[in-house]
Amino acid sequence: MKSIRKISILILSVILVLALLSGCSGSSKGKLRVGMECDYAPFNWTQADNKNGAVAISNDSTGYAGGYDVQMAKKIADSLGMELEIVKIDWDGLIPALTSEKIDLVIAGMSPTDERKEVIDFSDYYYESDLVIVIKKDGPYANATSIADFSGAKITGQLNTTHYIVIDQISGVNKQEALPDFSSMMNSLKSGFIDGYVSERPGALAAARVHSDLTFIGFEGDNGFKADVNEFYISIGMKKGSSLMNKVNDALGKISKVERATLMDQAIEDSAE
């Protein structure tokens, strides 16, 4: 009798565990934790509501994340059948958050540089851009056509980015201390502390739409900054050996260049509201 009782208890225990596992898998989807600054329009920014498809920020009870990166994150999460969770993290904290598994992906306008590839893996590109210099519309460099025209200019870029490194290519430039974010750079430019800052074209377009006194200088051919294509293109970061790599690339492959361009155009327009 004791043996039969033990077997019965064992069977009931197995049934209970299976029922619990079944209930857990069917009750909720896994979460895809995506890190971004939420301060780099038009790629990502913080706003007060869910207008234009913005997503609530998990670690900011009153903030919503909007922008191109958010829309791409939504598409990837949908493709993976997961619930999107946006985590707001300062730029310098994104990679450490990834390697410590506090987030699953970095979707934050990040370029897959060789230095970063030593620490994390990157997906296929999800945006292609070029580098420009944001200036005052009525400033002394409004007619510049080459980076050589910025000799003597006070130029900066964001801390720990390619934007700051390439400033050294400008002969005679008065390179300023790197700043932590684009808000700081815009304020410094508008206040006259700097003459310009290096940015990707979408960020410059967004700045010019929001601030009528700002514009930017783009460069053709050899007149611009020289860098490996990985310095200009944008990819999604993930932990080394992540099982998400193939799934993320498959999801990106379903988003055409036309759709990506449309999403970016819309993000630039939304950032000006």
CATH classification of the domain holding 108: 3.40.190.10
The model's pLDDT over 152-207, given as tens digits with 9 standing for 90+, comes to: 999 999 999 999 999 999 999 999 999 999 999 999 999 999 999 999 999 999 99
251 and 123 co-located in one domain: yes
Range of the domain at 161: 131-230
Residue 185 lies in a domain: yes
In this structure, is the dihedral angle defined by the CA atoms of residues 14, 20, 25 and 31, taken in order, positive or negative?
negative
Q: What proportion of the chain, given as a percentage, has pLDDT over 70?
A: 89
Complete edge-to-edge strand list for the sheet that includes strand 174-175 = 174-175, 154-156, 196-200, 131-136, 214-217
**Judgement on whether residues 37 and 79 belong to the same structural domain of the protein:** yes
* Mean residue pLDDT across the chain: 90
- 3: in domain: no
Residue 11 domain-assigned? no
Residue 73 resides in a domain: yes
pLDDT level of residue 29 (50, 70, 90 thresholds): low
Residue 8 has pLDDT above 70, yes or no: no
Q: What is the pTM of this model?
A: 0.79
Same domain? 213 vs 180: yes
Percentage of the chain surpassing pLDDT 90? 85
Q: Could you tell me which residues are beta bridge partners of residue 156?
A: 197
Pair 112, 162 in one domain: no
pLDDT in tens, 118-148: 999 999 999 998 999 999 999 999 999 999 9
Q: How many structural domains is the chain composed of?
A: 2
User: Are residues 192 and 170 part of one domain?
Assistant: yes
In a domain, 6, yes or no: no
H helix or E strand, kind and range, residue 183: helix 182-191
- Residue 30, amino acid: G
Contact 150, 173 (CB under 8 A): yes
One domain for residues 36 and 109: yes
Clarify whether residues 144 and 180 are in a common domain.
yes
Q: pLDDT digits over 43-71, tens only?
A: 999 999 999 999 999 999 999 999 999 99
Q: Is 15 a member of any domain?
A: no
SS3 percent helix, strand, coil of the chain, rounded to 5, is 45, 25, 35
Same domain, 120 and 139: no
Q: Are 146 and 264 members of one domain?
A: no
Identify whether residues 107 and 139 lie together within a single domain: no
- Hey, is 126 helix, strand or coil? strand
* Residues 237 and 109 placed together within one structural domain of the fold: yes
Asked whether residue 218 is assigned to any structural domain, the reply reads yes
Query: Which helix (H) or strand (E) segment is 140 a member of?
Result: none
Quick one: 111 and 171 in the same domain? no
The pLDDT of residue 104 is above 90: yes
Task: Indicate whether 19 belongs to any domain.
Answer: no
Q: What is the DSSP letter of 256?
A: -
Is the peptide bond between 180 and the residue preceding it cis, with omega within 30 degrees of 0?
Answer: no
